[in-house]
Amino acid sequence: MQTHPVIKLTDIQKVYHTGEVDVHAVRGISLEIFPGEFVAIMGSSGSGKSTLMNMIGALDRPSGGRYLLDCIDVSTLDRDALADVRNEKIGFVFQGFNLLSRTTALENVEMPMLYNRQRIHSHEQRERAMHSLELVGLGGRADHHPNQLSGGQQQRVAIARALVNQPSLLLADEPTGNLDSQTSIEIMGVFQKLNDQGITIVMVTHELDVARFTKRMVILRDGKILTDEAVQNRSVAEQELQRLRQEQQAVKLAP
């Protein structure tokens, strides 16, 4: 590929100093992710995937190595600069949705724009938030509060929020962890659709079923990359959904 990688990790290390023992959570990971990729980072708990995720998300700095995000060296930035990077370059989707309660879907989606370094006019904020909600198919629920929405809908609002600042990277941490299987497939469908439109997505998960919707699977073990390969027999959300519906139909028809 001719383009620059969105993410370029070079020998990334992370050491936690807890008491007298140093914990090496990540021990030298090198990885390149290019625009338009859809990557699943997998691994059991303790494999270092959450730590890696935090560093990719500019929530944490590596103890060693270099991290280039969109050609910016994130590993040397201070707190405020990291906040700006998160604001402009990264969209987060969390397992627990992490929406603000008693705040409408629209206002939740508008929130990242409040922290933009450039002032965004309030009507432009509205427009962009509405557009974002329409992208995830929730244009009609803009004035609903999170507690009036289903889990899948809440996660869509979170995705809309992640997209609103047009980030270089969509980062999802166990996005289907709190959802039932059908809703999970629907959310993966949203991701696949966004990826088809050219959005780069990195997703952390421990479910193989979910990872099969992505294009590339990186498996970690003990803070190192175990395997890194393209997904064979990739699941397509629409087909999976159709299959699921047929199965449900069959159960209903059975005497």
Are 142 and 110 in contact by the 8 Å Cβ rule? The answer is: no
Q: How many CB atoms lie within 10 A of CB 177?
A: 16
| CB-nearer residue toward other proteins: 44 or 103 | 103
Are 20 and 60 in contact by the 8 Å Cβ rule? The answer is: no
Rounded to a whole number of angstroms, the CA Rg of the chain reads 19
Alpha-carbon distance values, 88 to 41, 118, 166, 170, 219 (Å): 23, 11, 7, 11, 28
Check binding of 103 to other proteins (CB under 8 A).
yes
| CB-nearer residue toward other proteins: 8 or 89 | 89
CA gap 88, 120 in Å, rounded: 13
| CB-nearer residue toward other proteins: 60 or 209 | 60
Are 159 and 167 in contact by the 8 Å Cβ rule? The answer is: no
| CB-nearer residue toward other proteins: 115 or 150 | 115
User: According to CB under 8 A, which one of 37, 88, 174, 240 is a site residue for other proteins?
Assistant: 88
* Diameter of the chain measured on Cα atoms: 65
Q: Could you tell me the smallest distance in angstroms from the CB atom of residue 78 to other proteins?
A: 10
Question: Which residue's entry shows tokens 């941490």?
Answer: 173
CA gap 170, 166 in Å, rounded: 9
User: According to CB under 8 A, which one of 15, 72, 83, 236 is a site residue for other proteins?
Assistant: 83
Are 26 and 16 in contact by the 8 Å Cβ rule? The answer is: no
For residue 13 the two structure tokens come to 């290390």
| CB-nearer residue toward other proteins: 107 or 186 | 107
Check binding of 98 to other proteins (CB under 8 A).
yes
Q: Could you tell me the smallest distance in angstroms from the CB atom of residue 119 to other proteins?
A: 7
User: According to CB under 8 A, which one of 61, 94, 137, 222 is a site residue for other proteins?
Assistant: 94
Q: Could you tell me the smallest distance in angstroms from the CB atom of residue 115 to other proteins?
A: 4
Q: Which of residues 31-50 bind other proteins (CB under 8 A)?
A: none
Size of the site for other proteins (CB under 8 A): 26
Alpha-carbon distance values, 134 to 16, 110, 141 (Å): 42, 14, 10
Backbone angles phi, psi at 154, to 5 degrees: -60, -40
Check binding of 116 to other proteins (CB under 8 A).
yes
Q: Could you tell me the smallest distance in angstroms from the CB atom of residue 227 to other proteins?
A: 27
Q: Is 114 helix (H, G, I), strand (E, B) or coil?
A: helix
Q: Which of residues 47-66 bind other proteins (CB under 8 A)?
A: 54, 57, 59-60
| CB-nearer residue toward other proteins: 156 or 161 | 161
| CB-nearer residue toward other proteins: 146 or 223 | 146
User: According to CB under 8 A, which one of 111, 231, 236, 241 is a site residue for other proteins?
Assistant: 111
Q: Which residues bind other proteins (CB under 8 A)?
A: 54, 57, 59-60, 79-80, 83-84, 86-88, 92, 94, 98-100, 102-103, 111-112, 114-116, 119, 161, 165
